Structure 1
Amino acid sequence: MKTYIAKEQEIQDSKRWYVVDAEGKVLGRLASQIATILRGKHKPIYSPHQDAGDFVVVINAEKVRLTGNKMQQKVYFRHSGYIGGAKYTPISLMLKTHPERVIEFAVKRMLPKNALGRKMFKKLKVYAGPEHPHQAQKPEVLELNA
């Protein structure tokens, strides 16, 4: 048995663009399916050390759904590095001010934490409304069961 390793040209030829409508979709399920597409795990040429994933454009990020009490309880944490520099942002405020960041954070945290993961994350484009500037790439509409 020989392990198949895809060549760089094969990977570049197989790159596609997808549009995902986040309206009414559950955040975590949507993010995990997007992360799978960005990594390329849905393709037969998948290899963990190569970026064989596709581009994903997410529209209607402001209309994503959360289950349970997450709207009241979930908070995003960041720290300035100074003493007492902890910042807590509730998800309800994040959805009002920067709805695209909610999906970006969820997907980014599901990707590998290395240079390859950062490269994969650059293929994600998230927009709060229904419009996006990627019509020239002729993206296919992707129906995710989330």
Structure 2
Amino acid sequence: MKTYPAKPAEVEKKWIVIDAEGVVVGRLASFVANRLRGKHKPTYTPHIDCGDNVIIVNADKVVFSGRKYDDKRYYRHTGYPGGIKETSPKRILEGAHPERALELAVQRMVPRGPLGRKQLSNLHVYGGAEHPHEAQKPETVDFAALNRKNARTA
């Protein structure tokens, strides 16, 4: 069988829902980044947005493995001299927008550029259990059950 590059009109995009309660952030982010890019499909084409739409609920209940919850640091720079800022996952998850911890983890696993930004627009993260995408009839993926390391116990 000959391989061929997929055309944008031929791409079938599905909607999936993932419950992030008790799930390890890095493992979930890696899984979601691959789904957004479309690397799980046999028709994957690097220069086409052939990934699925991903909805993540209960993003405020994700966990970090080890001591990353307290010790990990995220850095950003304002662009001014001495303008480096830092924050921790603890501050983000206990703040006003806890879903940003997961959004940032996925964003850093998707390539930078116009295609990466387009693929990130297919990610929808919600802190609670509700989401407004019922009309798309999304499939539920039980990510915690795929591997015993995906969910953290105690």
Normalising TM by the smaller chain, what interval? over 0.9
Which of 10, 17, 29 is residue 19 of structure 1 equivalent to? 17
AA in 2 matched with 1:7? K
CA distance in 2, matches of 1:52, 1:141: 19
The residue aligned with 1:100 is 99
Task: State the SS of the aligned residue for 1:62.
Answer: helix
Identity in percent:
55
CA distance in 1, matches of 2:70, 2:83: 23
The residue aligned with 1:8 is 8
Residue 2 of structure 1 deviates from its aligned partner by 4.0
Alignment length (residue pairs): 144
TM-score under structure 2 normalisation? 0.89
The residue aligned with 2:88 is 90
Residue 93 of structure 1 deviates from its aligned partner by 0.7
In structure 2, stretches of 5+ residues that fail to align are: none
TM-score under structure 1 normalisation? 0.94
Counterparts of residues 25-40 of structure 1 (less than 5 Å) = 25-40=23-38
AA in 2 matched with 1:5? P
Post-superposition CA distance 1:26-72 (Å, at most 9, x none):
10000000001000011111111111000000000011010111011
CA distance in 2, matches of 1:134, 1:18: 10
AA in 2 matched with 1:17? W
The residue aligned with 2:73 is 75
Aligned Cα RMSD in Å?
1.2
Task: State the SS of the aligned residue for 1:88.
Answer: strand
The residue aligned with 2:41 is 43
Task: State the SS of the aligned residue for 2:94.
Answer: helix
CA distance in 2, matches of 1:9, 1:63: 37
The residue aligned with 1:112 is 111
AA in 1 matched with 2:94? K
Q: Which runs of 4+ in 1 moved over 6 A?
A: none
